[in-house]
Amino acid sequence: MGIAQRARGVLRRRELETPPPEPSGSRDVVYGPSLPDESTVHLVLDLALRIGEVQMASGAGASDVTATIIGVANAYGLPHCEVDVIYTSVTVSCYRGSDLPPITSLRVVRNRSLDYTRLSDVEDLVRRITAGEVSADEAYAELDRITTAPHPFPRWVATLAWAGMAASLAVLLGGGNEPLLPLIAAGATALVDRIGRWLNRRALPFFFQQAVGGAIATSVALAGFATGVLHNAALAVAASIIVLLSGMTVVGSMQDAITGYNVTAAGRILELALMSAGLIAGVVLALYIGLRIGGDTVAGLSVQDVGRAQVVSPVLYLPVQMLAGASTSACYALASYAPPRPLIVAGCGGAVAATVHALLITLLDVHTVLANLVATTVVGLVGGIITRRLRIPPLVVAVSGVAPLLPGLPTYRGLYELSVLGDPVGITTLMLAVAVGLALGAGVVLGEYLAQPVRTSLGRLERRIAGPRMSGPLRPTKRRLE
């Protein structure tokens, strides 16, 4: 029995020491995609992230940035990438199979500046990338050239454009019967822009820049009213307020909220609220100072009369409304460094928005919130169809087309009622301004969504791309379709 037990023990030890036979071909089995070399993967991810950074800085929605990054990575042989976009950063992770760890890259979006020429050039580069017309190295070099290039024209041109936008808004809001009103609104806006640029170079937070801008615009309007140059300072203040509000991401916030990117939407809305609070603080400060200096009256007229001036201006005849709307949007696009073709299309979008809004208000007596919603929906629908045929980013037309309808007058009236008169009705007026802002953003996004089936029937959009899109590639690459 002892010999038998020892023999079984020896056999058992041999079985344990001998490795099990490997299945045939098991060393050649790899779970996951076949990817380029690691250096190429890093290059492609950095390229995609930098493109996404330009889009985020230009106000594009998180869904657009996600689709663009996936499209670029897919075009260069990275078919399995996960993208996470929040308001301040973009992260992308490339899956490399079960035997290798994923490669993850992150890029922080620090600077937000409107340059539609840069955005248009990046859109054209993305279109060439997804069409397979440019290599990764060439695309990276081209992107570096685009992002480091100076603005297409001097900064003083943008200042004149902001001034032209304020003058156009003064006419659009009903100041056509007062010849000096557009000039004063333009001068105040140009002064605000130059001082704001000086403060920006000194890294003053944007909240305080907005406060300074609101205070300067209101002070100039009250001074004009006190000297008898202006009969309605409210319109001049409202025009300057709209200019200061125009750079905010109303459209992007609504797009992110509707498409399910709630964290990014919350970040945009918080920034929008903070910048609006700065603007409110500046306007209220100027009103208080005007009331203290002039007492109960300013140049013989009550400051209360300024705040209670009929801010619902008489509707101008339709051609003037159309031209003022077109000029407002075109000046906004010019101030944002838009190329010539997007500039013209943006002007057409503003003309459509102002005309539809005027028709609904005057002929059908539609409520202002619904009128704004319908007008911007038409802009989003028509712009979504035309821009892709002309290879123009729809975002340029969407944001510019909203500019003539921003709620500057309700904002000023509500602030005056609350801060100077102490009337709680001002809360209702400010809520109306908020409702109008939400309607503008929702209308543009809805119009872009409705444009998708139309573009599909025209052969401009693949059905598998879901959700409203205002930037980035609309057609999947061939690799994804395979």
Which of the 8 DSSP states describes residue 99?
A: T
Contacts of 124 (CB under 8 A, 6+ apart): 391
User: What per-residue confidence (pLDDT) applies to 464?
Assistant: 40
Share of the chain above pLDDT 70, in %: 79
What does the alpha-carbon distance between residue 384 and residue 452 come to, in Å, rounded to a whole number?
8
Residue 68 φ then ψ, to 5°: -65, -45
Residue 458 CB: number of other CB atoms within 10 A?
Answer: 12
- Complete DSSP assignment for 289-357: HHHHHHTTEETTEEHHHHHTS--SPPPPPHHHHHHHHHHHHHHHHHHTT--HHHHHHHHHHHHHHHHHH
State the pLDDT at residue 181: 84
Angle subtended by helix axes 233-246 and 262-294, to nearest 10: 150
Ramachandran category for residue 230: left, alpha or beta (phi over 0 → left; psi -120 to 50 → alpha)? beta
For the chain, which ranges sit under pLDDT 70? 1-36, 175-177, 246-249, 294-317, 420, 453-482
Contact 306, 237 (CB under 8 A): no
Say what the pLDDT of residue 374 is.
92
103 secondary structure, DSSP code: E
Q: Are 5 and 74 in contact (CB under 8 A)?
A: no
3-state SS string for 236-253: HHHHHHHHHHHCCCHHHH
Amino acid, single-letter form, for residue 232: N
Residue 411 and residue 125: Cα distance in Å, rounded?
40
- Backbone φ and ψ for 402, nearest 5 degrees, come out as -75, -25
Radius of gyration of the chain (CA): 29
Q: How far apart are CA 95 and CA 100, in angstroms?
A: 8
3-state DSSP percent of the chain in helix, strand and coil, to 5: 70, 5, 25
pLDDT of residue 364: 84
The pLDDT of residue 50 is 92
Give the H/E segment covering residue 85.
strand 81-86
| Count of Cβ atoms closer than 10 Å to residue 135 Cβ | 11
Give the model's pLDDT for residue 79: 80
Instruction: Indicate the domain borders of the chain.
Output: 38-148, 155-462
Closest alpha carbon to 50 in 37, 69, 76, 66: 69
